[in-house]
Amino acid sequence: MSLHSRTDYTKGALDESAVAEGPWALLEQWVKEAVDAGISDPTAFTLNTLDAEGFPHGRIVLLRDTR
């Protein structure tokens, strides 16, 4: 498989001034952009946490609401 045939998912960097309104406003913007772009499952995301020993664990969850 050629690496050149892979999809590039890079969108850009986080603009810290965009977080000034708070993380929830930024999250709502990202979800709206995903919906507008026709992304399948635009509310699906990976939630990662660390256990007591510091090992990461990730799971896919669906965002239902931001309120």
> Where exactly are the structural domains of the chain?
18-67
Local confidence band at 1 (pLDDT 50, 70, 90 cut-offs): low
Beta bridge partners of 61: 45
Local confidence band at 11 (pLDDT 50, 70, 90 cut-offs): confident
Spatial CB neighbours of 58, under 8 Å, sequence gap ≥ 6: 46, 47, 48
- The answer to whether the predicted template modeling score (pTM) of the entire model surpasses 0.75 is no
